A and B are shown apart, each in its own frame.
Chain A
Amino acid sequence: MTEAVIHMEHVAVQIGKQEILHDISLNIESGCIVSVIGPNGCGKSTLLKVMSRMLPGSTGNVYIGGRDICSFGRKELAREVAVLTQIHHVPDDVTVRELVRMGRFPYRTFYTIASAADRIYVEKAISAVRLQHCADQLVKTLSGGEQQRAWLALTLAQRPKILLLDEPTTYLDIRHQLHMMNVLRHCKDKLHLTIVIVLHDINQALQFTDAVIVMKNGRIIQTGRPQEVITERVVKEVFGVRAEMCRTSEGKPTILPVGIYQTEEQP
């Protein structure tokens, strides 16, 4: 077992009177892609927010690379952990390169202007997501998949060790979804990133990730290798969905949702 790059101990989050996360403890190993799956509102996004210290009201301890997350300065943390949130907004007239340049913000001090290193990392990030051909185009003129990759490039320009992605493939067509996941695998290998990714597509979790965290109602139900964790029983328990495990012609497991269990209590 390699070292845990993210380590959480007894983390709980309460917003108003509602407890969103209950007593969560977990370890995420360095250099792997970890997916977080679970039904809507189960606390997946909140979990990512805790890992990036965006929620002030959480209790428990979070360690990034062995260091207490609270001991980091804001910009210092942004150099370790980059986040791509679900909701983000791009002004109408920002080009891809300008957007990616903002990823260098954690390295700026008040007086400095862009350094040579900044420029190199910006170009590297753009080519890592394969957007060199439209680096000078306006972000809003790109397709949804390209826009999402431009945002990914912004987080890569932060040169983080950990990348947290909240449903980066939702709303994309299947080609762009696969392209995104391939880019992520490539970045993980080349930049030695640890990636935590919230996914809705269970098959993407099976196909592309090294470990999976299954959540329900603010608790972790199960963690482990996706091929072992994702079973018909778990899908039933977590989503209330009847699913059949199948094999592709190459023998890889996939899961096919075929129906809903009618229960008195909505899962």
Chain B
Amino acid sequence: MNKYTFHTTRTPWRLGMLILFAVLAAAGIILSVVQGVADISIRNVISILLAPTAATADKIVWNLRLPRAITGALAGSNLAMSGAILQAVMRNPLADPHIIGISSGAGIAGILILILFPAYTYMMTPAAFCGAMTAAAAIYVLSWKNGIKPVRIILAGVAVSAFLSAGISSILIFYSDRVHGALMWMVGGLAARSWNDVSVIVPYAIIGFVLAMSGSYYLNILQMGDDMARGLGLSVERTRVLLTAVAALLAASAVSVAGLLGFVGLIVPHIVRLLIGADYRYIIPGSAVLGAAVVTFSDTAARLLLAPAELPVGIIMAFLGAPFFLFLLRREM
């Protein structure tokens, strides 16, 4: 490719990729509604969606598959955007809400609510957000020494993550009689998601997307290095804190409906960056739609691979994500 013509075709290319990701996400949602243990043809699905009746097939599509697909798509979106923001803010390609312990922070708060205060389940997302923010703050405090160094962040994140996981495990052992629901939740699963879960995540997905998009130009400035960004008049610390809060909010909302779903936040922003480039004004929307696509496809695979039994989607994500993580490590180091 000639480097002169490259840039005149670049914006259409980026928009084209965004559209492609969106098509994939739509395909993922449709596939997860059509495919399943109960055999319902695509024509049936369409007629059910247009004019629902009281038949069993209708209930499966409307009350089981559709809310599950939407919840999964939005959780994937939020985690991917959260990962994209964290990678920029922490200037570390390995940052991801799961690896760095932000999800674990949300997770421990979620588990506490789930096991100790089941009556307050509606407080799940705010509590998860507080947990995520506390974890993020702990990571910054632990890794702060005359500024932020990417390696220190990842080490502090891994330490925080291990510490919180130990906390989660001990809660599970103390309350082993109430564990079952929590266990599914810990590996990240979308089984039995309802319209209730959709209504929990939708507002956060919308708010999070708007905030992430409005922060995207600031993320671009931050990429030039702290001192250059400061020289351009950006309040680096304040921008970091605010955008980390946005990332924590996105991760916490996803964790509170889908559990500790790992690796989405790591893989998706990298794929987007490879295909679209380093401009966060495109990476954020790209991550949002591709994250939805990845999770819906993985969830469909999780339901079908061992049908009629069902794997939690988190396990599929980990099988895909761990090798990808190693690949990135080898490439970056």
Which residues in A have some Cβ–Cβ distance to B below 8 Å? 15-16, 49, 52, 54, 73-79, 81-85, 87-95, 102-103, 105-106, 110, 136-138, 141, 155, 158
Contacts and interface: CB of A to CB of B under 8 A. Distances in A.
Contact of A77 (B146, B220, B233): B233
Given A137-B4, A138-B3, A141-B3, A74 B234 contact: yes
B230 interface: yes
A201 B99 CA distance: 46
B320 interface: no
A85 B228 contact: yes
A15 B145 CA distance: 11
Contact of A106 (B8, B228, B232): B232
A83 B225 contact: no
Contact of A74 (B3, B8, B235, B278): B235
Contacts of A76: 233
A82 B231 contact: yes
Interface in B176-232: 214, 220-221, 223-225, 227-228, 230-232
Given A77-B233, A103-B232, A85 B3 contact: no
B221 A105 contact: yes
Interface of B: 3-4, 6-8, 146, 214, 220-221, 223-225, 227-228, 230-235, 277-279
8 contacts: A16-B146, A74-B233, A77-B233, A89-B223, A91-B223, A105-B234, A155-B231, A158-B232
Contacts of B7: 95, 136-137
B3 A90 contact: no
Contacts of A103: 232
Contact of A85 (B214, B225, B233): B225
Contact of A54 (B220, B230, B279): B230
Given A105-B221, A136-B4, A138-B3, A87 B227 contact: yes
A89 B8 CA distance: 24
B18 to A, nearest CB: 16
A15 B146 contact: yes
Given A94-B278, A137-B3, A88 B224 contact: yes
Q: Which of B146, B214, B231 counts the most A-chain CB atoms under 10 A from its CB?
A: B231
Contact of A52 (B4, B146, B231): B231
Contacts of B228: 83-85, 88-89
Given A85-B227, A136-B7, A105 B278 contact: no
A44 B221 CA distance: 25
Contacts of A138: 3, 6
Contacts of A105: 221, 232-234
Q: Which of B225, B228, B235, B279 counts the most A-chain CB atoms under 10 A from its CB?
A: B228
Q: Which of B7, B214, B232, B277 counts the most A-chain CB atoms under 10 A from its CB?
A: B232
A105 B4 CA distance: 26
A102 B3 contact: no
A90 B224 contact: yes
A137 B10 CA distance: 12
Nearest to A166: B227
The 4 closest A-B pairs by CB, nearest first: A78-B233, A91-B278, A75-B233, A83-B231
A199 to B, nearest CB: 19
A81 B231 CA distance: 8
Contacts of B227: 49, 54, 83, 85, 87-88
